[in-house]
Structure 1
Amino acid sequence: MANQEILPASTTSPPLLNDPSVLSSWSHRLWVASGCTMVLISLAKSIVASAHSHTWIGPTLAGCVGYILADLFSGFYHWAIDNYGDASTPFFGPQIKGFQGDHKEPLVITKHIFANNLHDLARATTFIVLPVNILCNDPIVHGFVSVCLGCLMFSQQFHVWAHCPKSKLPWLVVALQDAGVLLSWTQHAAHHRPPYNKNYCIFSGVWNKFMDDNKVFEVLERFLSFEFGIRPRSWNEYPVSKRTKFY
């Protein structure tokens, strides 16, 4: 494959499949089930309210906006935990450690079992969507919330698929990647070149070109460095000489 020439060389090996850190616990499964339930309830409320009012345009457009913004939100979140904090950071520490390790050993993410990979985002989704489900019946709000939070919750799985060659993915996933609906292997490979400061969006990747061409994250990094003296990790921790295999 021609695009393999742009990828880093191999230096690492995948972890053992029986490593407890990659397996799903019952707690993980319950959080994923909870997050999915909250999203489905929100989606159902949007559909029922739209059917009752015979108004579909608003909720449909809200869902489309939610889909588009989910990729943008995933980029800001990925940028933040890639560049700031460490394993000891409250609440976000495990995710920061995981994303930082993703640069050094990108194979590891593909070994995590489904619920193990999604439980943190599913837990956050539960706490965000639950009060919306209780307090709101607006179909437009639920159209946005269900699509946006649903996409964000599963963005880490889409990230995993972007670490796999097409030969190892279901045909439907490959079709969605080729159509630009989900992040593709080729596009995400650009993020895995030191200093790992491009293509942060990991849902569909639709925002990556705009964000990189306009140096949005670079401007934010310079602002934080100038105002608060906080330097992003990408500035000084990833020499170009360090190379790891993307998959």
Structure 2
Amino acid sequence: MDVNAHLGLDDDPSTRSTWSHRAWMAAGFTTVLICLAKSIIGAANSHTWLQPILAAFIGYVLADLVSGFYNWGIDNYGTTSTPFFGPQIKAFQVHHKLPLAITRLQFANNLHALARAMAFTLLPFNLFCDDSTVLGFVGVCSGCIMFTQQIHAWAHGPKTRLPPLVVALQDLGLLISRSQHAPHHRPPYNNNYCVVNGVWNEFLDKHKVFEALELVVFLKLGVRPRSWDEPNSDWIEETDNPSQMIANS
């Protein structure tokens, strides 16, 4: 049986990229490239490479932490009618019921919302900042955040269907892999929120950072996180063998 047909995703227009999606993707990608190019040129002119490289590395590591806090918040708070975040909350709820669907979104469709946010965020840096260290940090951090959803999608696909470069980066631990992300979709559904490279997951989960924050929010505001109630776990995990995936669904 065809996997797409089983999931009801054949010819689904909601999975396709539109010209608007592509335009925002191009805008976001361009602002990131400009930021990084200015950082490289500035470092070359000043002959100071160490600070921009260290700043870029910190940006890469911080992007993973940002993705964790953002995913935790979207997963646990707000509703589909919440201003601005409502569509993202809805998408994350659907994702927990059907994780495989994210792998069927076309590239620009999957990334356009974050690309649009990064385009507006980076524009002032592109126009007014000439500090190569700042630009290195901002460019790498923003670039990683912009590609978070695609990195996330790759973490739900089997290696046999991923680009070789992505597989290599996952094997090196530079991008989060399927095995690293899988616990997020298993009981108790309250861990492994970081989805860039996953380097923060062990620390955050071991020290129960998000559980502590949930308790603070509940005590101060009386709002229960969704992770305290068993989520709908009717979701489908893809395997290298489509028939095995269907059998397990």
TM norm. shorter chain > 0.5: yes
Alignment of 1:192-231 (within 5 A): 192-231=185-224
* CA deviation profile, 1:102-124 (whole Å, cap 9, x unmatched): 11011111111100000110011
Letter in 1 for 2:73: A
- The aligned counterpart of 1:245 is 236
Distance 2:173 2:9 in 1: 32
Letter in 2 for 1:100: Q
Q: Which one is further off, 149-158 or 84-93? A: 84-93
- The aligned counterpart of 1:114 is 107
Cα contact 1:15–1:108 (8 A) shared by 2 = no
Deviation of 1:237 after TM superposition, in Å, equals 4.3
Counterpart check, 1:105 vs 2:108: no
- The aligned counterpart of 2:55 is 62
Distance 1:121 1:83 in 2: 20
Deviation of 1:238 after TM superposition, in Å, equals 1.6
Q: Which one is further off, 87-96 or 158-167? A: 87-96
Aligned residues: 234
Unpaired runs of 5+ residues, structure 1, are 1-11
Q: What is the TM-score when the length of structure 1 is the normalising length?
A: 0.91
Q: Secondary structure at the match of 2:237?
A: coil
User: What is the alpha-carbon root mean square deviation over aligned residues?
Assistant: 1.4
* CA deviation profile, 1:40-84 (whole Å, cap 9, x unmatched): 000011011111111111101000000110100000011010111
Letter in 2 for 1:227: K
Q: Which one is further off, 164-173 or 214-223? A: 164-173
* CA deviation profile, 1:22-47 (whole Å, cap 9, x unmatched): 11111110111000000000001101
Cα contact 2:151–2:176 (8 A) shared by 1 = yes
Distance 1:141 1:17 in 2: 44
Cα contact 2:24–2:112 (8 A) shared by 1 = yes
- The aligned counterpart of 1:6 is none
Letter in 1 for 2:105: H
Distance 1:134 1:41 in 2: 10
Unpaired runs of 5+ residues, structure 2, are 239-249
Cα contact 1:83–1:234 (8 A) shared by 2 = yes
Alignment of 1:69-218 (within 5 A): 69-218=62-211
- The aligned counterpart of 2:46 is 53
Cα contact 1:110–1:164 (8 A) shared by 2 = yes
Letter in 1 for 2:235: T
| Relative contact order higher in (CA < 8 Å, ≥ 6 apart) | 1
Q: Matched residues, percent identical? A: 60
Q: What is the TM-score when the length of structure 2 is the normalising length?
A: 0.91
* CA deviation profile, 1:156-197 (whole Å, cap 9, x unmatched): 101000001111112221111111000100011100113421
Distance 1:108 1:13 in 2: 11
